[in-house]
Amino acid sequence: MEFWSFPPKYDNSYLPDAGSKYWFPERETMDPGKRDAAILERLKQVTAYAYKNAPFYRTIWDEAGFHPDHLKSLEDFEDKVPVIKKADIREAQARAPLFGDHLCIDEKDIFRVHGTSGTTGRPTAFAIGRDDWDAISNAHARIMWGMGLRPGDIIFVAAVFSLYLGAWGALAGSERLGATSLPFGAGAAGMTSRAVMWLKDVKPKAFYGTPSFALHLAETAKDEGVDPREFEMGILFFSGEPGASIPGVRDRIAETYGARVIDTGSMAEMTPWMNLAGSAETDGMVAWQDVVYTEVCDPTTFRRVPYGERGTPVYTHLERTSQPMIRLVSGDLTRWEAGPTPCGRTYPHLPDGVFGRIDDSFTIRGENIYPSEIDSALNQIEGYGGEHRIIITRDAAMDELKIMVETTAQIAAQGKSAIDAFEQKLKDDFNRMLGVRTYVEVVPEHTIPRTDFKARRVIDDREVFREFEANLAEKK
């Protein structure tokens, strides 16, 4: 197995043969049983390392009666090692500022500090060691090679460079790959128009951003008389939203840009977050098990579900020494299949990507509804104007679902009867698909604001109602 050691140590001058579709042919195509055996040995090293260096893990494991010496099989791992959750990390940080008692390295060896935005409550700080950054760059370069990217390709990174790790992860991979990076960023006023100008001139091989931003960018280009196909991009790869694995959204982006669309990304905590990523020949995502060990689990027992079934990913770092995450529950939802993947890798395959967070779904009169299903349906309906909002309201004691949908200028130009027919079609489709009564409001194109980051399409009026009720109760 190429460069397989803990702590990881990579030769930064290594590149695969130009003709190879694999960065590490052996690691990527080996017998999965043999890989599992190697992963088990690595898990012994990682848990021993964490037990020694992190009071966080020592405390949790002692309490659960687990010791790294107990680890004899992958079944032991899921059986004996308790899962951790984001809230545990936040507590660790509150207990031992600034980086928590899960930090396993000296603070002076921290290369980068990143974190959650903290828009809702106290931010979580991520500390990434110097050697970790190196391993992250190598992992991302390897996965991006699998997408079809090669040295000398121009990669346009169009996501905000700040605390958020998305853009930085794409850049680190691009640099290690020997590509030419154009770290354009996003988020400031006027940048979308400027991106159109640069893309038209530079014609990069690849683009990284969020699906929402790619769609917004295409609209901006068209408004300026530029067909996004003029950018002549080959690959658009995404993270931050499930869009690139939602067939309707994926196909719409692919069609708009005339390019291949690739979905990537697990969680910021798990950086190298490209551990889940599609490839040149594989839609959905490949679980790169030798970078981050992913178990798709039953969300109550946290035992692996059989291939073919749905569950929530539980992640374990195999190449991080700063703040290793061991059995971190994502709270996302996915379905996994045994490998090999269409690209010939012997990793598990997540054909639908990570299709929505469990806590992103909502229940309307007993029906579980995933916003990504609504996204997907709309993107396949002719006349959809490109943006929508899902509004959950409370009418008396009943929850009601309302979807505000833009329609195209063409439909709007045909007058009221065409708009009414479009509205009726949406109602029928949603009622059938979602199993609950849906109110639809059709609005003109460009009515709903676009975003250069992740779209927030669900507006939960019930929360407002609940807070109101709670406040009332408190005052009584």
Binding site for a copy of itself (CB under 8 A): 97-98, 107-115, 117-119, 123, 125, 130, 151-152, 154, 160-163, 167-168, 175, 178, 180-185, 187-191, 194, 197-198, 201-202
For 282, the token pair is 């594989």
d(C-alpha 295, C-alpha 18), whole Å:
33
Q: How far is the CB of 19 from a copy of itself (least distance, A)?
A: 17
What span, in angstroms and rounded, lies between the C-alpha atoms of 346 and 275?
14
DSSP state of 355: E
Q: Which CB, 71 or 167, lies closer to a copy of itself?
A: 167
Cβ 325 to a copy of itself shortest distance, Å: 20
Distance CA 121, CA 389 (A): 25
Residue 435 Cβ, how far from a copy of itself at the closest point, in Å?
Answer: 38
CB of 356 to a copy of itself, least distance (A): 26
Q: Cβ closer to a copy of itself: 127 or 261?
A: 127
Q: 202 or 433, CB closer to a copy of itself?
A: 202
Provide, rounded to whole angstroms, the least separation between the CB of residue 6 and a copy of itself: 23
Q: Which of 269, 274, 268, 203 shows the shortest CA–CA distance to 237? A: 274
Residue (61 or 133) nearer to a copy of itself, CB: 133
Please confirm whether the linkage preceding 98 is cis (ω < 30° from 0).
yes
Please identify, using beta-carbon distances, which residue of 7 and 187 lies nearer to a copy of itself.
Answer: 187
**Closer to a copy of itself at the Cβ: 114 or 250?**
114
User: How many angstroms separate the CA atoms of 189 and 13, rounded?
Assistant: 39
* Smallest separation, CB 324 to a copy of itself (Å): 19
For residues 51 and 54, give the distance between their C-alpha atoms in angstroms, rounded to a whole number. 6
Phi-psi region of 260 (alpha: psi -120 to 50; beta: other; left: phi over 0): beta
Tokens of 154: 């121009």
Using an 8 Å Cβ cutoff, are 434 and 402 in contact?
no
